[in-house]
Amino acid sequence: MKPDRKSKLYVHLLFWILYYILEVYLDFYWSRYQFPATEWQTRLQNTIVLELGYLLIKMPLAYALLYVYETTGIKKFLTYILYCFIIVAAVLTHRFFTHYIIYPHIYGVTETLDGKQPSGFINGLVAFNSFMDLIFMAGLIFGVEITRQKNLLKEQISLLKSEKLDQELTMLKAQINPHFLFNTLNNIYGMALKKADETPDVILQLSKVMRYNIYEAAERYISIDKDVENIKDFLQIQQIRHHDLVIRFKEDIDQPSQEISPLILIQFVENAFKHGVSETLGQSFIHIDMKLNNGVLHYHIENSKEEKPHGNSTKIGLKNIRRQLELLYPKHSLTAESTNDRYIVNLIIDFNDSSRF
């Protein structure tokens, strides 16, 4: 059975059970005053039987209404006409059941109006009461089904949005990994030509970083301590490449198991090297301060840059980061400042914010 049909079956079954119990309770309570001499066991048995009979009349009317609602085009007009006939038939059946079966055979009395005069099979007041009883019940099941369909539609839309965001994030991450890999391989190639002693160390650190990027970063979320370890491996590679680089990394994390989307934080570091440190002619530096306290992350990066940098930076990497943050943490705070000799980035993420998907 399809999930939609299964959901519909469970919801409608629960509705009819609760509706039937409610009707039995109301009629049993009413019979206390109409037939006080009858024992309660008998009244309860009578109520159970008569409400079952009413239920068999009401259910076809209810689902006929749902069928009319779901029909479109010229067929819908014809079903409206058919439904009017169904309502008339349901009212007549309701009256027949009440007048000729319920009162004489179950209650053992003649149906009356306010206990004074006999009530005929076709009587304006009692027919109107039957009509209102049937329409009220049909409206209830109609409302239940429409609510169920709307909730199902919301779930489907939410699922589609989540899948779309997953695809977009995967594409954004794919734009980062090759860039880092190609740049590092180019540097290793240059070091190998010079037969630098640090070449094996760089290759080892690169293998750790790439293992993280390929396997760990495939997850939607990962513990922040693993993400920090990846940043440190990346910085070690850069430290070997840039002998004059001054690195300061401070971390204060009160919950290492806090989950975060992988490759978010390191992109700021990559951007610092791409558009700052690697362009600095003199001594370069990068200062990173990371603090996680009570589910709120404060991430601060400062890095050196030339007063008049060579070339024209496209800052595509920063646009990429901003887009990922918008998707993952809509209520984040990100500021980027450029002075004569440095770039400054401040990021705040509140992991307590439940709006992230």
Going by C-alpha positions, the residue among 322, 234, 310, 225 that lies closest to residue 273 is: 234
Q: How many structural domains are present in the chain?
A: 2
- Picking from 130, 156, 182, the residue at the C-terminal end of a domain is 156
User: How far from each other are the two terminal CA atoms of the chain, in whole angstroms?
Assistant: 29
pTM: predicted TM-score of the whole model, two decimal places: 0.53
Locate tokens 């650190």: which residue? 205
Residue 179: what pLDDT?
A: 60
- Picking from 103, 134, 156, the residue at the C-terminal end of a domain is 156
Band the pLDDT of 314: cuts 50, 70, 90: very low
Band the pLDDT of 300: cuts 50, 70, 90: very high
Measured over the CA atoms of residue 20, residue 26, residue 29 and residue 32, the dihedral's sign is negative
Question: Are residues 45 and 150 both part of a single domain?
Answer: yes
Find the domain containing 326 and state its range.
197-350
Does 244 map to a domain? Answer: yes
- Structure tokens given for 57: 């009349």
The percentage of the chain sitting over the pLDDT mark of 90, rounded to a whole number, equals 13
| pLDDT tens by residue, 265-292 | 988 888 887 776 665 556 788 999 999 9
Q: Summarize the confidence of residues 99-123 as an average pLDDT.
A: 67
Residue 112: what pLDDT?
A: 67
Band the pLDDT of 251: cuts 50, 70, 90: very high
- With H, G, I as helix, E, B as strand and everything else as coil, classify residue 303: strand
**Position 304 pLDDT exceeds 80:** yes
Does 162 map to a domain? Answer: no
Question: Are residues 209 and 151 both part of a single domain?
Answer: no
Question: Are residues 12 and 144 both part of a single domain?
Answer: yes
**Average pLDDT of the residues of the chain:** 78
Residue 121: what pLDDT?
A: 60
Q: Summarize the confidence of residues 251-260 as an average pLDDT.
A: 92
**Position 354 pLDDT exceeds 60:** no
| pLDDT tens by residue, 115-172 | 555 566 656 666 777 777 777 877 788 788 888 888 877 877 776 666 556 655 565 5
Residue 298: what pLDDT?
A: 96
Band the pLDDT of 74: cuts 50, 70, 90: low
Does 187 map to a domain? Answer: no
Does 62 map to a domain? Answer: yes
Does 74 map to a domain? Answer: yes
Does 190 map to a domain? Answer: no
